Each structure stands twice: as structure tokens, then as C-alpha cells.
């Protein structure tokens, strides 16, 4: 059963990447994975849930291990992220503009929120209560996601991962510089 689930997710990534669209028939997905159409519904509920699960799995398998631990330098983490998304652009572009764009964005925001730690926020902003720390982490995560989404969807080919990294580092330096009262 796990092998069938993995086969379906791999087929989803392959077909979306090749076709540049999330408008895939369940029959095409099941045929590419060499499983029954019924298994798609049993395992995922519907096509869009399969596609979002495939994207989440891709990030968890390929990107998150590259990021390393929380003490990995920010630039190295951003570079790993930019290279991953650039390498998989056809897939993510289709996912972010297709029928499952909203659940896809939510899933990515949830995954990326784990990269923004309360300790890191306190190092920048000083003592924060938990709710404020969560709110700041959400702003950072969603804002970064919006920039990455725009880059994946709108930027000219080929994508330049270093350009995105420098863009995010510039933004980070502005947001984290000390606020001097007037």
C-alpha cells in the first residue's frame, strides 16, 4: 500500500511537470502509477489532494533535508530553497496556478513555518510572548512564500536562484535591523 501511495505521488509530480498543468485525469495518474483509479480515491480522496500530498512529499524529501538544522546559516537555507524550486519549477508553477493553488500555498506555508523558530525571532526582536512569536512567524512565512510564488510564476527563464536569495536577504536585513526611535 505504501509503495502504491509513493507511486501515485511520483506519477503526479512527473505528469504535472511534463504537462505544466494540474488538469490531469485520475485515470492518467493511476495509469502512470500502474494502480487502479479507485486507489487514488481510497488513498487521497480526490485528485487535488493527491497533487498537494505529492508536493508536500517532494518538499519533505528533497528540500527540507538540504536545509539542515536550525543552526544552518540563513543564506545556505535560502540557497537550498531557491535551487530546489528552480529545479522543479514546471511542477511548482503548475501547482501554484492550477486548481489546487490555495491548498498548495497553505501546505507550503505550514511546512516553511517550521523553519522560523521562536528562538530565532527572540534573537532578533527580543522577548516575545508565544502568540506574538507565532504571528511574526506567520508574517515572515507567508510573505516569503508570496515572494517565492511570484518568482516561480512570473520570473523569466531560466530562474536564477542566487537572485532570489539576494532578494530575500535584502528584505531580511531591512526587517531585522534595529529600530531607532525618533
- Model pTM? 0.86
Pick the CATH number of 2-176 from 2.60.120.260, 3.40.1190.20, 1.10.357.10, 3.40.50.150: 1.10.357.10
Report d(CA 155, CA 12) in Å as an integer: 24
Report d(CA 104, CA 92) in Å as an integer: 9
**Which of 171, 49, 153 minimizes the C-alpha distance to 97?**
153
* Residue range 153-177: mean pLDDT, rounded: 91
* Residue range 92-116: mean pLDDT, rounded: 89
Whether the Cβ atoms of residue 152 and residue 93 lie closer than 8 Å to each other: yes
Check residue 115 and report its DSSP letter.
Answer: T
Report d(CA 14, CA 44) in Å as an integer: 17
- SS3 sequence, 52-113? HHHHHHHHHHHHHHHHCCCCCCHHHHHHHHHHHHHHCHHHHHHHHHCCCHHHHHHHHHHHHH
Whether the Cβ atoms of residue 38 and residue 29 lie closer than 8 Å to each other: no
Look-up of cell digits 490555495:
102
Whether the Cβ atoms of residue 81 and residue 73 lie closer than 8 Å to each other: no
pLDDT tens, position by position, 18-56? 999 999 999 999 999 999 999 999 999 999 999 999 999
Residue 69 has pLDDT above 70, yes or no: no
Distances (CA, A) of 84 to 57, 61, 80, 141: 13, 11, 6, 17
3-state secondary structure of 180: coil
Residue 179 has pLDDT above 70, yes or no: no
Residue bearing the bigger pLDDT, 66 or 103? 103
Residue 99 has pLDDT above 70, yes or no: yes
What is the average pLDDT value for the chain, to the nearest integer?
89
* Residue range 144-153: mean pLDDT, rounded: 94
Write down the number of H helices and E strands in the chain.
Answer: 11, 0
Residue 85 has pLDDT above 70, yes or no: yes
Amino acid at each position: 500500500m505504501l509503495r502504491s501511495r509513493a507511486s501515485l505521488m511520483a506519477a503526479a509530480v512527473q505528469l504535472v511537470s511534463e504537462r505544466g498543468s494540474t488538469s490531469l485525469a485520475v485515470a492518467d495518474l493511476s495509469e502512470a502509477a500502474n494502480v487502479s483509479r479507485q486507489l487514488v480515491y481510497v488513498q487521497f480522496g480526490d485528485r487535488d489532494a493527491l497533487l498537494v500530498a505529492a508536493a508536500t512529499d517532494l518538499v519533505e524529501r528533497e528540500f527540507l533535508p538540504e536545509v539542515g538544522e536550525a543552526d544552518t546559516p540563513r543564506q545556505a537555507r535560502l540557497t537550498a530553497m531557491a535551487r530546489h524550486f528552480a529545479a522543479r519549477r514546471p511542477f511548482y508553477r503548475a501547482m501554484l496556478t492550477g486548481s489546487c493553488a490555495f491548498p498548495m500555498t497553505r501546505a507550503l506555508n505550514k511546512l516553511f513555518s517550521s523553519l522560523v523558530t521562536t528562538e530565532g525571532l527572540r534573537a532578533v526582536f527580543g522577548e516575545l510572548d508565544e502568540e506574538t512569536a507565532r504571528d511574526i512567524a506567520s508574517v515572515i512565512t507567508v510573505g516569503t512564500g508570496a515572494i517565492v510564488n511570484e518568482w516561480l510564476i512570473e520570473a523569466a527563464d531560466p530562474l536564477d536562484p542566487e537572485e532570489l536569495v539576494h532578494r530575500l536577504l535584502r528584505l531580511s536585513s531591512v526587517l531585522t535591523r534595529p529600530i531607532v526611535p525618533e
